[in-house]
Amino acid sequence: MPRSSNSPARPTEKRKSVRLVDIARKAGVSVSVVGNVINGGRGNSRVAQVTADRILELAKQLNYRPSPTAQQLRGKRSNVFGLLVASAGDPLTSYLVEHLDEEVVKHGCQTLIGNTAVAPGRFEACVDEMTARGVDGIFCIVHSIFPGDRAQLLARCPNTVFYCDPGLADATFVEVDQIAAGRAAAEHLFASGRHRLGFAVLDPASAAGKKRVEGIKAALAGQGRNPEDLAVCKGAPGASEPARPDERSMDWHTPEEVLDRIIDELVIGHRADAIIAHNDFIASALLKQLRKRGVQVPSEVAVVGYLNHYLCEYVDPPLTSIDLRHHQTAKAMVQAVQAMIDEGSIDSPRERRALSIEPRVISRASA
């Protein structure tokens, strides 16, 4: 005996996907009419508006979802973008995730987020899933310290835009101007009466850190100051980044010995009256350690961070920081991938394209 429509579904029963033929039967029309209406109504201009409205309402009631594969075969867009992140909760990119999603929605599309740092091989698995779903493009904002085959990603989805340089000859990427970031921080400190600067980069191999040092030196030269007014604490192997004992929890913690080393080298040794930190998390940890060691901020030493994370407002004193203008980055990334889509399929790799975002200083009590 057939089960009534009001009976609950059996636990082992697999829900079938709704097809065009199912909607056609409900609407009492042919499959071709349903297809033409759902796919834009271009194929049959004789469909009455009342019939088209009924078909669309039935599709909504039945929770119809078009097949990405079928859409690709018809040359139609999925209106979905992949968004690869190390973790959606990563404090270094959480703002950018938010702004990218908002910017995509403004274009009438959606994002499919893939967390890549939770398990080995997850980056490639996320790429597999996104390409199988027929995404229109992919935004990759996974930091370079995390694994993932970026070259294979670009080969499988040419409409990919990276956040920061992935080191690929044919990549399109958006990045913050690191030289401008260093220069802006130094000029702000000079304008507030500081003279001797320290830069806590921690990672000796950090390309971004080297560029920020270049920017600080440019600010020194621009004001005719002595290059020796800058000292750089380059950290040591094993202490180049905040420790993450658990990738899933993303527990960011800077060891106290690292903080003491920064203070010993820059404040005690160099007699710096201002420290520019590699990011807001190191800067906020420095604020606590400086207070613990009896150094007053900002009366004795000013501190500037990098990122303008919301924690800047909750530390004491509130942290001056370099704002990365993630809303501008999101706009640039979406515009770049839209331009790729408009360009259509290509037979040869695209030329390398770098888009630069000018950062700005957000002044607070720490500097």
Q: Is residue 6 part of a domain?
A: no
One domain for residues 229 and 156: no
Question: How far is residue 235's CA from residue 260's CA, in Å, rounded to a whole number?
Answer: 11
Sign for the CA dihedral angle at 289, 290, 294, 296 comes to: negative
Question: How far is residue 23's CA from residue 364's CA, in Å, rounded to a whole number?
Answer: 60
One domain for residues 224 and 214: yes
Q: Provide the pLDDT for residue 201.
A: 84
Q: Is residue 210 part of a domain?
A: yes
Give residues with Cβ within 8 angstroms of 77, minimum separation 6.
Answer: 71, 136, 341
**Number of separate helices (H) and strands (E) present in the chain:** 12, 12
One domain for residues 304 and 349: no
One domain for residues 163 and 42: no
Q: Is residue 183 part of a domain?
A: yes
- In this structure, how many other beta carbons lie within 10 angstroms of the beta carbon of residue 198? 26
Give the count of domains, the chain.
3
Alpha carbon separation from 232 to 90, 178, 204, 336, 356 (Å, rounded): 27, 16, 10, 36, 25
One domain for residues 223 and 309: yes
Q: Provide the pLDDT for residue 348.
A: 72
Q: Provide the pLDDT for residue 164.
A: 94
Q: Provide the pLDDT for residue 48.
A: 83
- Which domain, by its residues, includes 97? 80-176+327-360
One domain for residues 188 and 286: yes
Reply yes or no: is the peptide bond before residue 204 cis, omega within 30 of 0.
no
**Which helix (H) or strand (E) covers residue 56, if one does?**
helix 49-61
Q: Closest by alpha carbon to 92, among 293, 351, 311? A: 311
Give residues with Cβ within 8 angstroms of 186, minimum separation 6.
Answer: 197, 215, 216, 219, 220, 276
Note whether 284 and 311 are within 8 A (CB): yes
Note whether 320 and 298 are within 8 A (CB): no
Residue 233 burial (C-beta neighbours within 10 Å; 0-12, 13-18, 19+):
buried
Question: How far is residue 101's CA from residue 111's CA, in Å, rounded to a whole number?
Answer: 6
CA angle 328, 333, 338 (to 5 degrees): 125
Q: Is residue 76 helix, strand or coil?
A: coil
Q: Is residue 70 part of a domain?
A: no
Q: Which two tokens stand for residue 284?
A: 């906020």
User: Within 13 A of 5's CA, how many CA atoms are on the CB side?
Assistant: 0
Which DSSP letter does residue 228 get? G
Give residues with Cβ within 8 angstroms of 12, minimum separation 6.
Answer: none
One domain for residues 292 and 348: no
Q: Provide the pLDDT for residue 205.
A: 76
One domain for residues 132 and 156: yes
One domain for residues 113 and 166: yes
Run means of pLDDT, 10 residues per run, the chain, 367 residues: 45 62 86 77 64 86 71 67 88 89 92 91 95 94 91 95 95 97 98 96 82 96 94 66 48 79 95 96 95 97 96 96 97 95 79 95 98
One domain for residues 154 and 212: no
